[in-house]
Amino acid sequence: MSLTQILFWFLTVLTVFSALMVVVSKNPVYSVLWLIFTFFCISGHYIMLNAQFLFIVNIIVYAGAIMVLFLFVIMLMNLNESAEPKKHRWLRMAGVVAGGCLLLVLVAALKNTDIKKQVAETNTGDIGLIQNLGKALFNEYVLPFEVSSILFLSAMVGAVVIGKKE
């Protein structure tokens, strides 16, 4: 096994394990911390695929901004294990069975596709660098980029309007 393969399997196992811990953890604060860990593992996958811009944006935006927002809200509400609502055992089991069925169908459908002989290039290729992505973003995708600023403005106004005490 080459170093890339070892790193891939290590990151994959860590990613799936921490994603499972997000769902399994009883305490919401632990769930958030495991989710941050999952995002770091996914960022590791990005850097293996040489998508350096997305690696840094994933850490800054997801692990940095979004998860801190989640932590703030959880601390604001003072949630802990005793306040955690519990679903009925049969309902939980039904949820797991439904998810397992989806997993089974997706894996069975994609197991024998032609695409599986193809390879995603790791460690090489320069489309993920900031220079190339920036050129494409400000030439072909300049309109969606500007529209997303309007989306942010409306989200900001919406959050303030909803969160305001009337």
Partner 1 sequence: MPINYYIFLSIALFVIGIIGVLTRRNAIIIFMCIELMLNAVNLMLVAFSKMHHLGNAAKDAAAGIDGQLFVFFIMVVAAAEVSVGLAIIVMMYRNIHSVDVNFLNRLKH
* 141 lies in the binding site for partner 1 (CB under 8 A): yes
Cα torsion through 88, 93, 98, 101, rounded to 10: 180
Distance CA 55, CA 8 (A): 15
Please, which of residues 95-114 interact with partner 1 by CB under 8 A?
A: 95-96, 98-100, 102-103, 106-107, 110
28-48 and 67-77 helices cross at what angle (nearest 10)?
A: 180
**Residue 2 phi/psi, 5° resolution?**
-80, 170
Cβ 74 vs Cβ 32: under 8 Å: yes
* Minimum separation from the CB atom of position 100 to partner 1 (A): 8
Alpha carbon of 115 to those of 8, 61, 127, 163: distances in Å? 20, 32, 21, 47
* Minimum separation from the CB atom of position 56 to partner 1 (A): 11
Single residue of 6, 16, 75, 142 touching partner 1 by CB under 8 A: 16
Single residue of 14, 53, 56, 59 touching partner 1 by CB under 8 A: 53
The site string for partner 1 over 71-90 (x = CB under 8 A, - otherwise) reads --xx-xx-x----xxxx---
* 142 lies in the binding site for partner 1 (CB under 8 A): no
* Minimum separation from the CB atom of position 89 to partner 1 (A): 10
The site string for partner 1 over 55-74 (x = CB under 8 A, - otherwise) reads --xx--xx--xx--xx--xx
b/e map of 20-51 (b: 16 or more CB within 10 Å)? ebbeebeebeebbbbbbbbbbbbbbbbbbbbb
* Minimum separation from the CB atom of position 35 to partner 1 (A): 5
- Total residues contacting partner 1 (rule CB under 8 A)? 84
Single residue of 20, 80, 81, 142 touching partner 1 by CB under 8 A: 20
